[in-house]
Structure 1
Amino acid sequence: MARNKKHLERFQYTQDHAIEKPFNWKQLVRLLRYVRPYTRKLLPIAIVAMLVSTLVRLFVPILIGRVAFDVAIKSGDVSLLTWLVIGIAVMYLFNYVGNLLRIKYVNILGQNVIYDLREHLFSHVQRLSHRFFDTKSAGSILVRIMNDINSLQELFTNGIINVLMDIVLLTGIIIMLFALSPKLAIAVLIVIPIMFYISTKLRRNIRRSWQTVRIEQSKLNSHLNESLQGMRITQAFAQEKENEEYFEGINTSNFAAWKEASKKSAMFRPFVEMSNAVGTVILIAYGAHLILSGDVTIGIFVSFSFYLGMFWEPISRLGQMYNQLLMAMAASERIFEFLDEEPNVKEKENAVDIKDMKGHIEFDHVQFAYDEDRIAIPDLSLEMKEGETVALVGHTGSGKSTIANLISRFYDPTKGKVMIDGIDLKDATIDSVRSQISVVLQDTFVFSGTIMENIRFGRPDAGDEEVKEAARVVGADEFISRLPYGYETEVEERGNILSVGERQLLSFARALLADPRILILDEATSSIDTETEMKIQEALNKLLEGRTAIMIAHRLSTIREADKIFVLEHGEILEEGSHDELMNRQGEYYELVKSQFQMLDAM
């Protein structure tokens, strides 16, 4: 429970910093820019359809009050009344068609905008640097791309046109009321300033409530994602009960936030209805007085009644729309927070492509820090020649993986240069660098799909035979052929139907098929048993042939054949040389090998 409380407090501190912000009109304008591509085709049709239905609604009360009551009924003109009924029926038919077209085209427009926004956000997130993913959980990113964008759906599918329609309708009603009887219009609309004053008081609280809802949802989704991915660990340590208690705490906070936001939002509609009731009482009382005094006719009173009934409808919808807008703005703040995130690894405008990479790597006085207090590499200079197999060894935190990340340009050095074929990586295009480098990690990621699709991932245009040949070379064909459907076997999420070793062999086949000029093996054989390792050692030799290879390994038996071995400690090179040279020197490397063999003997 102590862990849960501390974790929740830490989560609250890191997530609630963005609550106190004024309504950002620039952000709303920025959001509406996604409508721009559809302003020539879809939006005009929707606007015309909206205007047709709105004009029908504005003119029908006049026809009923001024023509039907004050002329046709008063004079007993049945013919005029008949034609009036037919005319109103035709107008309502136009109203039906207008509404049909409006709803159809605003929904098409809204779905297109949501599609574009989600596509833009996902594409942007894919281009962000590793440093971004170091600080953001998968759950929080998922919430932005799915839930937050879904929250904008109502705004784009109905909101924009409905606001325009309600403003036109409200303006038309006010004009009609004053045209019919200025005295009566002023009397029934006297409640509007009071209503406006009170409603503005609600805005800040309602907006803050919906911001809180988005934050609580992010917590809930992040925890769900973490819990599901770590379910085996939870069960292994029998921590289901504590996990349930923690989930209950987050779920309760989410429920309370929704309850509070819904309660505040629900206050607006009853307030509008109360204003409507006050206006109706004024209309009946003062309208009767004006009829008796001869200032207005029965027809004007009837038209007034229609317009007053219509008047509160757009106001109520605008109130609801304001709530939707607040929800949308709370979501859009979080979306734009990600869209405004700039990659730490930036590509220059005049960046050059590294074509036909040879694989000659140089570190020139490189310094790198993950943050100000964590200097991983203080000052490193080294050279890896074309076609060399280089091994990086050292204790955890010595800088091995950091060097690999700098070569792949997942990070840029704080100082100094990382060069490939004499070109500073900061001057090269990111795609041209990474497309010629393959990385095989200890924790192999397998995508949902077939075995064939997973091996082909690094080179989508490869033929089936090329895929199979790559699998045969690294020894993966043997276990693939035993699967129910061979290469067409569907693997589950993260490749759970495969053993750790099988997933590792799959990653070797993927790397070989990509045919990289530089190959990075980051603890790539640590998950493979000794027997399997012996089987793929020959395959590894083929895999490394003609390529610059960087091998990071704790199991020192895998790097005996390396051309050069760098022994690292706190980002500095303690020793370098071949296996034999370093063993003869009996320095740090010798001690590492000796201690590892002693551990094996003890086992």
Structure 2
Amino acid sequence: MADSKGKAFDTKLFKRLLRFAIPYKWQLYVAAIAAILLSVFAALNPFFMKDAIDIGITQKKPESLIFFITMMGLVLLGQVIFQLLFIYFSNWIGQQVIRDIRVKLFEHMLQFKMQYYDTSAVGRLVTRAVGDIETIASIFSQGLFMIIADLLKMGVVLGFMFWESWQLTLIVLAVFPVILYATRVFQRAMKVAFEEVRTQVSNLNTFVQERVTGMKIVQIFNREKIEHEKFKAINKKHMDAWNKTVWYNSFFFPIAEMCTSITIGLVVWYGGLHVAESEAITLGVITAFISYIQMLFTPLRQIADKFNTLQMGMVAANRVFKILDTNSQIIDVGTKELKNVTGKITFDNVRFSYVAGEEVLKGVSFTAEPGQTIAIVGSTGAGKSTIINLLSRFYEIDSGRITIDGTSIADIKLKELRKEIAVVLQDVFLFADSILNNITLNDPSISEETVIASAKAIGVHKFISSLPDGYHYNVKERGAMLSSGQRQLIAFLRAYVSNPSILILDEATSSVDSHSEQLIQKAIGKITKGRTSIVIAHRLATIKKADLIMVMDKGRVVEKGTHKELLKNEGGHYQALYEAQFTEIATSP
């Protein structure tokens, strides 16, 4: 989407936003009718006040005075009713629209490739999905509809003014261009200012989110003072951006107020001179014009203020639509479903790069037979984890072919593919929810009884039962209430109850204590039985029984074989890795 920065109003963006309101047509009609009637009723009050003065008071007709005051009361009642309808439905539509946009945005974000999240700040995405979308609601509740209502009111008021006295109306209109020009300049300046405000809000959210998440690192490395100074700098930029909007407001509203006062003074001066000479200009007309001027200029000032709100909403909408327009999804054109999966996995000359021109995998080929356990070892950055990312289609390969049971994974429906694969990562992610929901991921087809039976089967039931509330224990955000070993056990159980055909373990025992590792080894033996398993391991002692061990180095498979076979390879990569770990263990205190 083109950047609309500097434009007072982006019509194309507004039309796109308005499409979300189309499903709520009758509510729009009610709001529109209420706005029209509200405009008419607002202009009727000065009209009846004029007659109350000229007829009821000046001509001393008490019955007429009572009639006109009664009419003013009825008009006021009508204003209250239609204003209630207008405010309710305009706000209601705004909430419906942001609900629909938020759902669409979140659904869109769920389909993004992992590569998108690798390069996007979480705080910025949260700002778009929560703060920015909330700001969009103000377009309908305080911006768009209010501006339309005010414009209608101004149009009706001008009509009444011409009806009462075209001379006084021309005096008013002589000053009108000044305030219109000031409003136009104000709108353009505020557009740019609000762009900067939203940018700084996003930067502030991103900074706070990252530091709160990484607070342990901040404190361990004594970075509190440094991060505090950084926060002060970012917060100052945020304040400066808002102060710019305050500065523009400080100029505009006094100018608008001055124009109103000058116009009233000119009308009173001109009308006062001619009230005795002309029957068209009476004391009641002058009084009515004072009200009309307030009704004409006040909405114009308010329109400028509401235009600020509209601009904030439009800026937010532009940012949200940029994410909606981001094409970063895995293209799911697969038509095949996996049935009776045996779990044969083949990588055929697979090449892949996260960044164009910088290959991570350089022609990787291997085959995992059904039921086999294949271990992948190698130094950091060798491309081990990339293999599981590609098998799960979190990223698209550059060239080559990956198949399961002879079928290319590109031809398999994405949902069907991932249903057959379970992954246990080194860094286990748990939601702020119960253990049960973290295991089932709210899948209604997996009962609590099934989870308990599975936990007993892999030896983790005792551990879960020992926790307060057992399976209903809330682990808090990211599983903070559990140790790393306990989180791993939950991840193994989650993988086990999903009953996958292919199991992937990525460094699953690299950071746990010896007791948890014993439980995990037992769990591994249970859940890998009868399944094709790919184990990425740092501790070579844990993969001695693997059917095949692949050694990777700089994106290539440099050695293959069993543990015993690879140890016989003098000067080989595996032997060097094994001896290095053995020496490390032997010399450790």
For this structure pair, what is the TM-score category when the shorter chain's length is used for normalisation?
over 0.9
| Pair 1:159 & 2:149 matched | no
Name 2:408's counterpart in structure 1: 424
**Which stretch shifts more, 527-536 or 277-286?**
527-536
Q: 2:240 aligns with which of 238, 253, 256?
A: 256
Name 2:565's counterpart in structure 1: 581
Post-superposition offset of 1:82: 2.0
CA contact (8 A) 2:142 2:309 kept: no
Query: How many percent identity over aligned positions?
Result: 34
Post-superposition offset of 1:526: 1.0
| Pair 1:569 & 2:558 matched | no
Partners of 1:113 and 1:389 lie apart in 2 by 51
Q: Could you tell me which runs of 5 or more consecutive residues in structure 2 were left unpaired when the two chains were aligned.
A: none
Name 2:30's counterpart in structure 1: 45
Task: Name the SS of the counterpart of 2:467 in structure 1.
Answer: coil
Name 1:122's counterpart in structure 2: 106
Q: Could you tell me which runs of 5 or more consecutive residues in structure 1 were left unpaired when the two chains were aligned.
A: 1-16
Name 1:598's counterpart in structure 2: 583
Post-superposition offset of 1:355: 4.0
| Pair 1:311 & 2:296 matched | yes
Q: 1:461 aligns with which of 429, 435, 445?
A: 445
| Pair 1:301 & 2:286 matched | yes
CA contact (8 A) 2:349 2:363 kept: yes
Post-superposition offset of 1:95: 1.5
Post-superposition offset of 1:562: 1.5
Name 2:307's counterpart in structure 1: 322
* Cα gap change, 1:248 to 1:94, in 2 (>3 Å): same
Task: Name the SS of the counterpart of 2:441 in structure 1.
Answer: helix
Name 1:8's counterpart in structure 2: none
Partners of 2:549 and 2:172 lie apart in 1 by 89
Partners of 1:473 and 1:399 lie apart in 2 by 33
Whichever residue aligns with residue 29 of structure 2, its letter is P
TM-score (normalizing by structure 2)? 0.94
Partners of 1:276 and 1:129 lie apart in 2 by 56
Partners of 1:203 and 1:60 lie apart in 2 by 31
Task: Name the SS of the counterpart of 1:390 in structure 2.
Answer: strand
Post-superposition offset of 1:554: 1.1
After superposition, residues 178-257 of structure 1 pair within 5 angstroms as 178-257=162-241
Task: Name the SS of the counterpart of 1:585 in structure 2.
Answer: coil
Whichever residue aligns with residue 239 of structure 2, its letter is F
After superposition, residues 413-492 of structure 1 pair within 5 angstroms as 413-457=397-441, 459-492=443-476
Aligned length, in residue pairs: 584
Task: Name the SS of the counterpart of 2:534 in structure 1.
Answer: strand
After superposition, residues 520-531 of structure 1 pair within 5 angstroms as 520-531=504-515
Partners of 1:353 and 1:268 lie apart in 2 by 64
Partners of 2:340 and 2:85 lie apart in 1 by 56
Post-superposition offset of 1:563: 1.5
After superposition, residues 374-393 of structure 1 pair within 5 angstroms as 374-393=358-377
Post-superposition offset of 1:499: 0.9
Partners of 2:152 and 2:340 lie apart in 1 by 63
TM-score (normalizing by structure 1)? 0.92
After superposition, residues 275-354 of structure 1 pair within 5 angstroms as 275-294=259-278, 296-298=280-282, 299-348=284-333, 351-354=335-338
Post-superposition offset of 1:63: 2.3
Name 2:544's counterpart in structure 1: 560
Task: Name the SS of the counterpart of 2:504 in structure 1.
Answer: strand
Q: Deviations over 1:215-268 (max 9, x none)?
A: 111111111111111111111122211121111111111112111222223433
| Pair 1:170 & 2:151 matched | no
* Cα gap change, 1:280 to 1:403, in 2 (>3 Å): same
Task: Name the SS of the counterpart of 1:114 in structure 2.
Answer: helix
- RMSD over aligned Cα atoms: 2.0
Whichever residue aligns with residue 428 of structure 2, its letter is T
**Which stretch shifts more, 513-522 or 22-31?**
22-31
Post-superposition offset of 1:184: 1.7
**Which stretch shifts more, 170-179 or 198-207?**
198-207
Name 1:4's counterpart in structure 2: none
Post-superposition offset of 1:581: 2.5
Q: Deviations over 1:537-590 (max 9, x none)?
A: 233122012222111011111111212221111111111122222223343222
Q: 1:95 aligns with which of 79, 82, 93?
A: 79
Q: 2:17 aligns with which of 31, 36, 57?
A: 31
**Which stretch shifts more, 398-407 or 421-430?**
421-430
Post-superposition offset of 1:276: 0.6
Q: Deviations over 1:94-117 (max 9, x none)?
A: 221111222222222222222222
Partners of 2:4 and 2:33 lie apart in 1 by 39
Q: Deviations over 1:289-347 (max 9, x none)?
A: 33243162313323322211211121111101111122112222221121111124222
CA contact (8 A) 2:421 2:504 kept: yes
CA contact (8 A) 2:28 2:93 kept: yes
Partners of 1:81 and 1:33 lie apart in 2 by 50
Whichever residue aligns with residue 501 of structure 1, its letter is G
Partners of 2:558 and 2:202 lie apart in 1 by 46
* Cα gap change, 1:159 to 1:326, in 2 (>3 Å): closer
Partners of 2:402 and 2:569 lie apart in 1 by 29
**Which stretch shifts more, 44-53 or 312-321?**
44-53
CA contact (8 A) 2:95 2:137 kept: yes
Partners of 1:128 and 1:70 lie apart in 2 by 71
CA contact (8 A) 1:458 1:513 kept: no
**Which stretch shifts more, 24-33 or 471-480?**
471-480
Q: 2:519 aligns with which of 530, 535, 539?
A: 535
CA contact (8 A) 1:19 1:212 kept: no
Partners of 1:64 and 1:212 lie apart in 2 by 47
**Which stretch shifts more, 426-435 or 74-83?**
74-83
Name 1:104's counterpart in structure 2: 88
Task: Name the SS of the counterpart of 1:568 in structure 2.
Answer: strand
Name 1:397's counterpart in structure 2: 381
* Cα gap change, 1:344 to 1:117, in 2 (>3 Å): closer
Name 1:84's counterpart in structure 2: 68
Whichever residue aligns with residue 38 of structure 2, its letter is S
CA contact (8 A) 2:486 2:516 kept: no
Task: Name the SS of the counterpart of 1:363 in structure 2.
Answer: strand
Post-superposition offset of 1:490: 1.6
Task: Name the SS of the counterpart of 2:370 in structure 1.
Answer: coil
Whichever residue aligns with residue 228 of structure 1, its letter is V
Partners of 2:18 and 2:536 lie apart in 1 by 49
Q: Deviations over 1:385-424 (max 9, x none)?
A: 2222111111111111111100000000012222222332
CA contact (8 A) 1:131 1:344 kept: no
CA contact (8 A) 2:204 2:238 kept: yes
Q: Deviations over 1:346-382 (max 9, x none)?
A: 222x643334443222222221111124210122222
Post-superposition offset of 1:72: 4.0
Partners of 1:496 and 1:598 lie apart in 2 by 34
Task: Name the SS of the counterpart of 1:189 in structure 2.
Answer: helix
Whichever residue aligns with residue 48 of structure 1, its letter is I
